[in-house]
Amino acid sequence: MKTNFFIIGITAFAMAAASCSKNNNIVGPQDTMPEGTADVTINETDANFSDYQDNWCNYAAAVSSRLKDDAAKLYKAWNEGLNGEEAYQTTFKEVRGAYSSPNNCIEQIVDGCIDIANEVGESKIGDPRDKWENGKYTEAVYAVESWYSYHSIQDYSNNIRSIQNAFNCSYKGMAGSHSIAAYLIANGQAEFAGQVNTAINTAIAAIEGMAAPFRSHIGNPSVLTAMDACNNLKNVLKILKVKVEGFEDEAELKAIVADYVDIVVLPTYKDLKDANAALHVAVQALAANPSNATFETAAVAWMAARQPWEMSEAFLFGPVDELGLDPNMDSWPLDQDAIKNVLCSGDFSGLDWSGEYDEENESIADAQNIRGFHTLEFLLFKNGEPRKVEN
């Protein structure tokens, strides 16, 4: 998840909608919730689908088209290479480019795991919790990733599964014969390998044990349990990083890198490409024939496409970072004012940017803030359910 640091104003959002609709039925998260309340239902800021039907459907199709293209580009960059450059899998396996040794590649894998463990515990779960505890209830809800679909807990647990896959070199029932876990076991550190897997499983269980949906239970004690489990996992992974710096069998380390790419990275990105292609087909069907049924089919396809993305977040390095594909696909929170302006105007040209990616470029960030999974989530879901044509 690429985090964008801006505050979304309810008043500005309502004004943007009111400027082009006579009946917007705007409501927003309540900011008067009593301190200490653990479980509360929160209404989301919204506008009626019927007020924007044509632009709404065309916008959804435009976003899903770009998701499809970005997912295909990411897979191609790893599998074949882009613009005459070698495939990133070759760069990584053959220890070229930014990588000076097989140890360097293994450290990159572990760093990715540490980063996502930290992000889930401190940002995805911790940031909303901190805002809640400071009485900023509205801001707390807006900080919850995937709150339109009530899919937050699934997202976060899949993030931790991406660590599990990277450490054990496993994915969807497949397992490589070479992995960081296997190296530890073969070199007399089976107990520590077990500690890593225990920390991973504990974090998954704690996240899945949070009161659901997370956006309505930010103050629940189960949230603190999940944060603690993620923090413990991060600390265990930091110990792992120190250990891998001392790995010495270069041939085995290269074998680990090769299996990691072949068993984890490429299949995950292949699934991401295929699922987003299927999502685009479903959204095109929605645009051609808006109905409760086509909304539901598109929403189910969104959830299916979301899974491989979240299970790739332990390896947000290489093309996904260098080409700006992470924020293209997964910027959060949304610029809801800008999204409403697109719905009003029907002008989708602002979704695109060109040139070399620069994360400090504001015009690129503006484009990324109105596309991707979460924009499409807003367009497909309401209160955790597929939208209806009458709302």
Which residues of the chain are modeled with pLDDT < 50?
5-19, 21-43
Per the domain annotation, does 162 fall within a domain? yes
Per the domain annotation, does 1 fall within a domain? no
Per the domain annotation, does 72 fall within a domain? yes
Per the domain annotation, does 278 fall within a domain? yes
Q: What pLDDT sits at residue 47?
A: 64
Per the domain annotation, does 265 fall within a domain? yes
Count of structural domains, the chain: 1
Q: How do strand 385-386 and strand 381-382 relate by DSSP bridges?
A: antiparallel
Domain containing 327 — which CATH number? Answer: 1.20.1420
Q: What pLDDT sits at residue 4?
A: 65
Nearest in space to 333 (alpha carbons), one of 156, 139, 155: 139
What are the φ/ψ torsions at residue 96 (nearest 5 degrees)?
-125, 180
Q: What pLDDT sits at residue 51?
A: 82
Domain ranges, residue 209: 6-386
Per the domain annotation, does 48 fall within a domain? yes
Q: What pLDDT sits at residue 333?
A: 86
- The Cβ of residue 296 has, within 10 Å, a number of other Cβ atoms equal to 17
Per the domain annotation, does 20 fall within a domain? yes
Kindly report the three-state secondary structure assignment for every residue of the chain.
CEECCCCCCHHHHHHHHHCCCCCCCCCCCCCCCCCCCCCCCCCCCCCCHHHCHHHHHHHHHHHHHHHHHHHHHHHHHHHCCCCCCCCHHHHHHCCCCCCCCHHHHHHHHHHHHHHHHHHHHHHHHHHHHHHHHCCCHHHHHHCCCCCCCCCHHHHHHHHHHHHHHHHHCEECCEECCCCHHHHHHHCCCHHHHHHHHHHHHHHHHHHHCCCCCHHHCCCCHHHHHHHHHHHHHHHHHHHHHHHHCCCCCHHHHHHHHHHHHHHHHHHHHHHHHHHHHHHHHHHHHHHHCCCHHHHHHHHHHHHHHHHHHHCCHHHCCCHHHHCCHHHHHHEECCCHHHHHHHHHHCCCHHHCCCCCCCCCCHHHHHHHCCCHHHHHHHHHEECCEECCCCC
- The Cβ of residue 14 has, within 10 Å, a number of other Cβ atoms equal to 18
- Which residue pairs from 135-142 have beta carbons closer than 8 angstroms and sit at least 24 positions apart in sequence? 135/35, 136/31, 137/29, 137/30, 137/31, 137/32, 137/33, 138/10, 138/28, 138/29, 138/30, 138/31, 139/7, 140/218, 141/29, 141/42, 141/44, 141/215, 141/218, 142/8, 142/29, 142/333
Cα–Cα distance for residue pair 3/334, rounded to 1 Å: 9
How remote is the C-alpha of 17 from its chain's centroid? 27
Taking a C-beta distance cutoff of 8 angstroms, is the pair 357, 368 a contact?
no
